[in-house]
A and B are shown apart, each in its own frame.
Chain A
Amino acid sequence: MHTLKYIFLFSILTFSSLDVIPAIQADESDLIVGVWTPSDGKSRIKIEKIGSKYYGRVIWLMIPKNPTTDKPKTDQNNPDTSMRKAPIKGLRILKDFTYKGKKEWGGGTIYDPKNGKTYSCVINLKDENSINIRGYVGVKALGRTDTWTKYTDK
């Protein structure tokens, strides 16, 4: 009877270490996948997974058109002049994030279409409905954090 008990316990421990834990980790790494609204509420960003990395693109703009031209806003500040006709709606502003553990995604960049600059960036999951996005130059201390909230279609 004792032997059976040990076999049962051993199999539980083995299976949990092989299957369940990686599954939990996989779920955790995908927690940023979804649609998020920056603190100013003027846009929505969809974060998705391509391969093993995470990317975010603009899917909605409060003011989609340029007021002076009445045409859809384009990436006018892109340092590569040949890409300035790219529409802001659809633009990938978050690139190449990997899950670092402890609800942090790093190694990526954030692009600011307002000035055409790209910054190093780290994303932290605050809770299931909000993330902290920190853009920085060089060291994390020299940067700015914005809190994005999860968008739900009500």
Chain B
Amino acid sequence: MHQANCLFTFITLFKTLNLMQTFKLTFYTLFFASLLMTSCKNNKKETLSYKDVQIMAEGPLFEGSNTIQGDLVTQLPALTQKLKIDTEDIVSIRLNSVNLSIDDTSNFNLFSSITLQFASEKTDMIEVALINPVPVDKQTIQLTVASEQENLLDLLKQDKFTIVADAILKEDSDKNINMKAHLDFELTYKK
């Protein structure tokens, strides 16, 4: 009788362990399958361009540090709609290139350097690009983009932000300064 009891207990224990193992196996299979499905969502890239963004400073302007600025209405909602993604699917945004062209004068000879920043009501100001020295006799200049670009995604989630160009002028100028900025952002998103 005792032997029969022992055998019954052993069988029950074996069955329970077996059942647990089956559960474990099912759990791990499902876990790895979901992991595989998630990893199958590849990162894709898209360029977000802003052309001819007007920035300006009213004259008279004096030799030394001056600020040229303008607002940019973001187009992120339109882009996410076009890509059929949510803003949560965006992994990162990077500024890839900045070009400035000047309207009123023939070239950038009045400038010795320009530092470009972005600012908005809800995000911190960030330095994004720089040119020093400014090459002579150029109508369009390309700025060096900052390696460290934090919170650009938060910035572009705003309805608008301000482009702030701090320029060092070589001499006084009575005229207004009008520039056009061309910005290319690279957007990385999951799909």
Q: Assuming A50-B162, A82-B144, is B65 touching A89 (CB within 8 A)?
A: yes
By a beta-carbon cutoff of 8 Å, the part of chain B in contact with chain A is 64-65, 67, 69, 112-113, 115, 117, 119-121, 124-125, 127, 130, 132, 144-148, 162, 164, 166-168
The reply to whether A86 and B64 form a contact with Cβ atoms under 8 Å apart is no
Q: Does A104 contact B (CB under 8 A)?
A: no
The reply to whether B64 and A80 form a contact with Cβ atoms under 8 Å apart is no
Residues in chain A near residue B162, CB distance under 8 A: 50-51
- The count of A-to-B residue pairs whose CB atoms sit within 8 angstroms is 77
The reply to whether A90 and B113 form a contact with Cβ atoms under 8 Å apart is yes
Closest Cβ of chain A to B38, distance in Å, is 33
Q: Does A112 contact B (CB under 8 A)?
A: no
* The residue from B121, B130, B167, B168 contacting A83, defined by CB atoms under 8 A apart: B130
The 9 closest A-B pairs by CB, nearest first: A90-B65, A82-B147, A80-B148, A85-B132, A95-B125, A90-B166, A59-B65, A86-B115, A96-B124
Can you list 30 contacts pairing A with B, beta carbon distance less than 8 Å?
A: A46-B65, A50-B119, A50-B164, A51-B121, A53-B119, A53-B121, A55-B119, A55-B125, A55-B164, A57-B67, A57-B166, A58-B65, A59-B65, A60-B64, A72-B112, A80-B146, A80-B147, A82-B144, A83-B115, A85-B132, A86-B115, A86-B127, A86-B130, A87-B132, A89-B64, A90-B167, A91-B115, A92-B115, A92-B127, A96-B119
A107 (CB) vs chain B CBs: closest residue: B124
The reply to whether A57 and B65 form a contact with Cβ atoms under 8 Å apart is yes
The reply to whether A92 and B168 form a contact with Cβ atoms under 8 Å apart is no
A contacts with B, residue count (CB < 8 A): 28
By a beta-carbon cutoff of 8 Å, the part of chain A in contact with chain B is 46, 48, 50-53, 55, 57-60, 72, 74, 79-83, 85-87, 89-92, 95-96, 109
**Additional 8 contacts, C-beta under 8 A, given A55-B119, A81-B147:** A48-B67, A50-B69, A55-B164, A59-B65, A74-B132, A83-B146, A91-B115, A95-B125
What is the bound-complex CA distance between A53 and B119, given in angstroms?
A: 9
* The residue from B64, B112, B125 contacting A92, defined by CB atoms under 8 A apart: B125
What is the bound-complex CA distance between A134 and B7, given in angstroms?
A: 79
Of B65, B112, B121, B167, chain A has the most CB atoms within 10 Å of the CB of B65
What is the bound-complex CA distance between A81 and B115, given in angstroms?
A: 14
* The residue from B65, B115, B119, B144 contacting A51, defined by CB atoms under 8 A apart: B119
